[in-house]
Chains A and B, each alone.
Chain A
Amino acid sequence: MERERLEFDVVFVGAGPAGLAGAIRLKQLAAERGREIEVCVIDKAPALGAHSLSGAVVDPRALAELLPDYRERGCPIEEEGLRDAVFYLTAAKALRLPWVPPFLHNEGAFVGSLSKLCAWLGAIAEEAGVNVFPGFAGVEALFDDAGGRVLGVRTGDKGVDKQGRRKGNFEPGVDLLAKVTVFAEGPRGSLLREAAKRLGLFDGRMPQVFETAVKEVIELPEASPFLTAPEAVIHTFGFPLGLHTKGGGFLYRMAERRVALGLVVGLDYADPMLEPYREFLRFKRHPLVAGLIAGGRVLQQGAKTLPVGGWYSMPRLCADGALVIGDSACTLNARRLKGVHTAMKSGMLAAETIAEALAAGDTGASALEGYRRRLEESWLGEELRQARNFSQALSRPPASRVVHLGAQMLSRGRGLVDPMPLHEDCSTLRPGVFREPAPVADLDGTLYLDKLTGVYLSGTRHEEDQPCHLHIPHPELCTTRCWQEYRSPCTRFCPGQVYEIETAEGGRPRLKLNPSNCLHCKTCEIKDPLRNILWNCPEGGGGPNWTIL
């Protein structure tokens, strides 16, 4: 099929903070140098910000560098002048830590909604002349004949039915050609997965490891004590995950009587029966949390993963004609629980490198290598180096964890073992221990929701008649080995009830997929112990419709 080709200087795949900051920075540099740079940003989300979910306590450092007048330009800030509290939770009690570790101090930061921030940044990018296209998924990286140089990306076809046949409104994808293609897909990019294999970007690096979070924005009643509490930012650890599974909870106060609430679960957990969504409900039912949100109503819900491998997991950042930025490049600082400012900074440093390379007329890997150097020499490199063994330490048993973290704090991140090893999340489930956990009872549909009501409140919608975007190379394993050894953990780790095991005729178990429920968190691809799930982009414009997460 002949596809239309559109040429740009630079194409960003992903309109998160990384891609948008990079695109805006490029336009600024073009204006400074009096040079035209044609920039395009695509995102699979139906609208800008609709697939953006974060906490978010935002460190404004990168934002202030990019847009010194960000306040005057109407940056959507929910709450500022933040004070923090950290609690250790037992099943019935909450013990407040007498001090907050320095890396969790948030005085200069603000609470924001990433959906709103991305919509705002996207409008600024458009004003600056960037071509921003929400509703278009990048489905294939384009290579030259030798296969070593990235030439651009292909967007997905639309109007294809379940069987792969063209419907009446078939619209072929287009080839977006660029001198530089920037992968800014966030955690576990599906394009990057394939391109990286070809380019060896992850070779010789530590594995990519993740945490997954369920998050809600809840509207509180006027009398809620949290609205007037001195601490607008609360972090918890301990219950419900215990001390052997890493992760923790957060509550961030927002404007308009709202609170952002979430539970983050390290995906290196061992118990195949663990269900992150259930833990999330248990977290909400803890007396401390339940008291703070009493009388509230959930406005929106969603789920997303965070790449926490950090410094040693970072892929090779450049190839001929391509760069990797943001969460796709593991720029998230797991120690500070922050990835927005680091993603933005990486995008801005990439932009500076690209502008230079374009001016010199060479966008090969060695010309783009300046990006890694810039990153290493900037505050971003310094921040990430200090956190380089943090996630690893959290995966250790409680006693040695404390020793490692203490040593890291005293040695600017080096600690006792440097580098500490990481293990792939798909390898950590222990087969054969099946304690069926009791379901969380009394869901009221207002403040405590079952998974499907949560999916409904995420606004998730996909064209129903399209090929399934979840590729399961060996479906027979689902009901044999995976069931026998792990009791089909996909039915639990997926927060959107995409995976169900039903009993088919003759009492045989059968996998049933509900791809339309997919929240695009990609936990399935990451955690599946048999590596039998590949997540690809569904038809562009499908998925969650978040506006305040």
Chain B
Amino acid sequence: MNIVVLVKQVPDTESLVQIAADGVSIRKDDVKWIMNPYDELAVEEALRIREAKGGGVTVVSCGGPKAQETLRTALAMGADKAVHIQDPAAEGADALGTARILAAALKAMPFDLILCGQRGVDEDNVQVGPAVAERLGIPHLSFVIKVELLDGRVRGHRVVEGGTVVVEAPLPALLTTQRGLNDPRYASLPGIMKAKKKPLEVKSLADLGVDPATVGAAGRKVVVRALKLPPARQAVRMIGGETPEAVAAELVRVLHEEAKLI
């Protein structure tokens, strides 16, 4: 089974996120960079499937030079090889541009199953996975919290409001992950050592036959007009009282009269 995992390096949303002087991007220097947490779930699931069914796991990322750290992390967790699409012309791509690039890379490699996070926690577009599937003409199952492989088919359990839906598709297919799917493993120290020796291929847009004008900042269909930080957190208010009943009554009063939520 050939499994491909799409990963992205994103800023840790709890690190020092500041809007850059241009007003439409964030400052890149003082933030901490991590693997998109949903992609960690995807890597973990791929490794579990490989452990159960055999095969190989390839991780693919499109990003600047630093994105290699995230690929190395995936390799350290246990992936077999990595492909890094690194091209200045790819920078600033919107979700559809990124999907175009990733799909072009995927066309050149064998896959039975593609896994990726449901969204990147940086831009929250929730588009790349499904768009890649569309470009490749394969089915996709999004927000899965459980994956079962049947003969030539994949079954995904998806969360919907108030319940789960079980869906199936023939392979090859693409899955996007939701929290609860698994508990990602740590990159072990020997794993990190081994990762340094695993193959990591760097590709440009030209290698993939992608026209730079259709992707990157040049090919954006969605233009960011402004970025704003969310309002500062309000201080937590502890609701006290002599008895549980009194606490509950006070809570209801606050929610009703002050917060006007109920």
Question: A residues within 8 Å of B by Cβ?
Answer: 4, 6, 46-47, 50, 131, 133, 135-136, 155, 158-159, 167-169, 171, 174, 176, 299-300, 445-446, 456, 459, 461, 545, 547-548
Whether the Cβ atoms of B192 and A4 lie closer than 8 Å is no
A428 to B: closest C-beta gap in Å:
35
Whether the Cβ atoms of A445 and B14 lie closer than 8 Å is no
**In the complex, which residues of chain A have a beta carbon less than 8 angstroms from the beta carbon of B185?**
169, 171
Q: Report Cα–Cα, A135/B32, bound state, in Å.
A: 14
Task: Using known A-B contacts A167-B183, A169-B184, determine if residue A547 contacts B190 with beta carbons closer than 8 Å.
Answer: no
* Residue count of chain B within 8 Å CB distance of chain A: 21
Whether the Cβ atoms of B189 and A155 lie closer than 8 Å is yes
Extra 16 A-B pairs, beta carbons < 8 Å, given A136-B189, A545-B32:
A4-B188, A47-B32, A133-B192, A158-B186, A169-B183, A174-B188, A174-B190, A445-B232, A445-B235, A459-B12, A459-B16, A545-B15, A547-B16, A547-B32, A548-B16, A548-B30
Closest to B235 in A: A445
Whether the Cβ atoms of B232 and A446 lie closer than 8 Å is yes
**In the complex, which residues of chain B have a beta carbon less than 8 angstroms from the beta carbon of A548?**
16, 30
Whether the Cβ atoms of A547 and B31 lie closer than 8 Å is yes
Q: Say yes or no: is B193 at the interface (Cβ < 8 Å to chain A).
A: yes
Q: Report Cα–Cα, A167/B184, bound state, in Å.
A: 11
**In the complex, which residues of chain B have a beta carbon less than 8 angstroms from the beta carbon of A547?**
15-16, 30-32
B247 to A: closest C-beta gap in Å:
15
**In the complex, which residues of chain A have a beta carbon less than 8 angstroms from the beta carbon of B30?**
299, 547-548
**In the complex, which residues of chain A have a beta carbon less than 8 angstroms from the beta carbon of B31?**
547
Interface centre among B12, B16, B183, B233 (most CB of A within 10 A): B16
Closest to B185 in A: A169
Question: B residues within 8 Å of A by Cβ?
Answer: 12, 14-16, 18, 30-32, 183-190, 192-193, 232-233, 235
B17 to A: closest C-beta gap in Å:
11
Whether the Cβ atoms of A461 and B232 lie closer than 8 Å is no
**In the complex, which residues of chain A have a beta carbon less than 8 angstroms from the beta carbon of B193?**
6, 131
A542 to B: closest C-beta gap in Å:
12
**In the complex, which residues of chain A have a beta carbon less than 8 angstroms from the beta carbon of B184?**
169
**In the complex, which residues of chain A have a beta carbon less than 8 angstroms from the beta carbon of B192?**
133
Whether the Cβ atoms of B186 and A169 lie closer than 8 Å is yes
Q: Report Cα–Cα, A47/B184, bound state, in Å.
A: 19
Whether the Cβ atoms of B232 and A545 lie closer than 8 Å is no
Pairs A-B, 10 closest by C-beta atoms: A171-B186, A169-B183, A158-B186, A547-B30, A168-B183, A169-B185, A174-B189, A171-B188, A4-B190, A545-B32
**In the complex, which residues of chain B have a beta carbon less than 8 angstroms from the beta carbon of A300?**
16
- 8 CB contacts below 8 A, A to B, read A136-B189, A169-B185, A171-B188, A174-B189, A299-B30, A300-B16, A545-B12, A547-B32
**In the complex, which residues of chain B have a beta carbon less than 8 angstroms from the beta carbon of A155?**
189
B10 to A: closest C-beta gap in Å:
14
Task: Using known A-B contacts A459-B14, A545-B14, A548-B30, determine if residue A6 contacts B189 with beta carbons closer than 8 Å.
Answer: yes
A496 to B: closest C-beta gap in Å:
16
**In the complex, which residues of chain B have a beta carbon less than 8 angstroms from the beta carbon of A174?**
188-190
**In the complex, which residues of chain B have a beta carbon less than 8 angstroms from the beta carbon of A50?**
32
Q: Report Cα–Cα, A168/B193, bound state, in Å.
A: 23
